[in-house]
Amino acid sequence: MSTTTEAPLVRPGVGRGLADVFRDRYLLRLLVGKELKIRYRGSALGLLWSYVKPGVQFVVFYIAMGKFLQLEKATENYAVYLFSGIVLVNFFGEALSNGARSIVYNAGLIKKIYLPREMFPVASVWVSGVHFIPQVAVLLVGCFVAGWRPDWISLLAAVGGFLIIAMFALGLALLFSAINVFFRDVENIVDLLLMVATWASPVMYKWDMVQKVVGDFWFTVYQINPLTVAVELFHRAFWAPTTPGDFSVYSPPNLLTLWLPFGLVISAAVLLLGQLTFRRVEHRFAQEL
C-alpha cells in the first residue's frame, strides 16, 4: 500500500452501534432539535404546550380522582401519587412508540445515505426525555404545594428511576424498531404493550394491593418489571416525602438496596439485547424498507 494516504481502508456501512451515535453527538443534537422544532411548528404557544398539557392533566386528576372518586381518603395526596407514576409511564410510552417507528419513519434517509442507524431510536428517546422535563416541573409544583420534604434518597431514587426507564425504553426501541422493518405488526404490539404497561405497574393503585391478591411469589415476578421498580422509585422520590410522619413504610421492601440495582441490571440487559438484535439485522434495512 502507498504511504501517501492518511486514512485506512475500512468497510463502509459497518459501524460500532451505539458508540458511533455518541461519537457523532452533533448530528444527534441536530436530529433532536429537528424533532422538537417540528412538534410545535406553526403554534403560537410553542413549547409552552408541553407545560400546559401535563398541568391540566394534573388538575383533572386532583379534582376527579382525588375529590370526586375520593381516592384521597385511602391515599394521601393521591394526585401527586398518581402523577409521579404517570410522568414516567408517559416518558416510557412516548420514547418506545416513537422509537419503535423511527427506522421505518426515516426509511427515505436510511435507504439513501449511510449513518449510524441507531441514531434514530436514540434521538426518539432523547426527544421524549426533553418532553419529560416540563412534566417533572409540573410534578414538582404539585409536590411543593402538597408539602414536599425531600431527602437525599429522593434524589437518588429519582435519578435511578429515570435511568431504569431510559435504558429500558431505548433497549426496547432498538429491538422493536429493527423488527418493525420486517413486520409492521410491531407498531400494534407496541401500542398494546403500552396499554398494559400503565396497569402492570403501580401507577393507579398501590403495590401492597397486588401483594395481597397474588401472594409473594407472583409479587416478586411483578417487581421484576423495571417499570414497577421505576414507578416505586418515583413514588419514593416525589410522593412519599409529601406524606406526614415516617414515609419509608410506603415503599416495597428492599426497594433501594435490592430492586434499584436489580432494575438497572435488567434495563441494561434489555438495552444490550436491543443493541445486539439491531446490529444483527441492520444490514438488511436498506433493502427491506
Partner 1 sequence: MTSTPVAVEIRSISKQFILRHSRSIKEAVVWLAQGRRKDLSNRFHALKDITLDIAQGETVALLGLNGSGKSTLLKHISGVMTPDEGTVRTRGRVAGLIEVGAGFHPDLSGRDNVFLNGAILGMTEQQLKERFESIVEFAEIEQFIDTEVKFYSSGMYLRLAFSVAVHSDPEVFLVDEILAVGDEPFQRKCLEKIGELVDAGQTLVVVSHDLELVQRVCRRGIVLEHGNVVFDGDVSEAVSVVRSR
Binding-site ranges for partner 1 (CB under 8 A): 1-2, 4-14, 24, 26-27, 30-31, 33-34, 37-38, 41, 108-115, 183-185, 283, 286-288
Nearest partner of 79 among 100, 63, 56, 55, judged by Cα? 63
Residue 36: other Cβ atoms inside 10 A: 16
Nearer to partner 1 among residue 137 and residue 189 (C-beta)? 189
How far apart CA 53 and CA 71 sit, in angstroms, is 23
Nearer to partner 1 among residue 107 and residue 156 (C-beta)? 107
Residue 175 Cβ vs partner 1, minimum distance, rounded to whole Å: 15
How far apart CA 261 and CA 248 sit, in angstroms, is 18
What phi and psi values does residue 26 have, to the nearest 5 degrees?
Answer: -65, -45
The length of the chain in residues reads 289
Residue 8 Cβ vs partner 1, minimum distance, rounded to whole Å: 7
Residue 227 Cβ vs partner 1, minimum distance, rounded to whole Å: 25
Residue 40 Cβ vs partner 1, minimum distance, rounded to whole Å: 11
Report the chain's terminal Cα–Cα distance, integer Å: 38
Nearer to partner 1 among residue 82 and residue 123 (C-beta)? 123
Nearer to partner 1 among residue 9 and residue 249 (C-beta)? 9
Query: Cβ neighbours of residue 202 under 8 Å, at least 6 residues apart?
Result: 85, 210, 228, 231, 232, 235
Residue 91 Cβ vs partner 1, minimum distance, rounded to whole Å: 25
Nearer to partner 1 among residue 21 and residue 157 (C-beta)? 21
